[in-house]
Amino acid sequence: MAKVLVISDTQFPFHHKDLFKFLAHRAKVFKPDRVVHIGDMVDFHALSDYPTDPDAKSAGDEFELAMEEVRKLYKMFPECEILESNHDCRFFKRLAKAGIPRKFWPSYESLFSAPLGWSWKNNINIDGVQYIHGHQVHSGGGNVMQNGIRKYMKNIVFGHFHTRFGIDYHANEDSLLFGMCVGSLIDHKSYAFEYQKDEVRKPIIGCGEIENGIPRLVPMVLKKDGRWVGA
């Protein structure tokens, strides 16, 4: 069975400052066979339908900053499967609102100048484990891991919920299923996340790993100043 490293929401350029050091360490220790990015690779704050920061960078400037980081990720992981997600698709929603026919839309791979080893997918199944972004899972204010299991009735791995970082199980007479939510890799103090500033719960930073069909979460433990404590 594949050893899978799951990269949680990066939302470039509003990512945690120690993201690359942390992922490099996990790749060296875990030595994954496959890498899955759970989605929201970039944020596209300037293209949001929600109110944006009035002093935010333009869409073009934000995208250029994001791509500087994306290219670093390509170099670190030349091969990766990535989930379609609610932030990465903001560009395409703008095209739809403008009435531009789909035949003129670029692919994700073209938009993000991706290397041949990268591909965007709606969902991914590896060794019976279903990987999705997570915006399809209803939070309901409750246990999102259980909600994911009940909706898909499969072993399920997802992100999207920045403050959720956990694994839960569901069993019946026929099967044992797990749901894993992998948190995020954002810098919650960035202006893109100003909407969360009064939230008591803060994002949990980390990644996920699957080995022999068993899920594992690896938090990025932070010091009081918000930086990673290191390996």
Helix axes 19-30, 59-76, angle to 10 degrees: 20
Q: Is the pLDDT of residue 94 over 70?
A: yes
pLDDT per position as a tens digit, 19-68: 999 999 999 999 999 999 999 999 999 999 999 999 999 999 999 999 99
Q: Is the pLDDT of residue 120 over 80?
A: yes
**Inter-residue contact 154 to 130 (CB < 8 Å):** yes
What is the residue whose two structure tokens read 């009735």? Answer: 153
pLDDT per position as a tens digit, 2-32: 999 999 999 999 999 999 999 999 999 999 9
**Inter-residue contact 81 to 35 (CB < 8 Å):** yes
pLDDT at position 141? 63
pLDDT at position 230? 95
pLDDT at position 193? 95
- Average per-residue pLDDT in the chain? 96
Q: What is the mean pLDDT of residues 151-174?
A: 95
Q: Is the pLDDT of residue 85 over 70?
A: yes
Among candidate residues 130, 134, 126, 131, the one with its CA nearest the CA of residue 88: 134
pLDDT per position as a tens digit, 172-204: 999 999 999 999 999 999 999 998 888 888 999
Interatomic CA distance for residues 49 and 53, integer angstroms: 12
What is the residue whose two structure tokens read 């930073």? Answer: 205
Handedness of CA 91, 134, 36, 43 (dihedral sign): positive
Domains of the chain, residue spans: 4-123+183-219
Interatomic CA distance for residues 64 and 42, integer angstroms: 11
**Of residues 172 and 205, which shows the higher confidence score?**
205
Q: Is the pLDDT of residue 142 over 80?
A: no
**Inter-residue contact 131 to 36 (CB < 8 Å):** yes
pLDDT at position 38? 98
pLDDT at position 197? 84
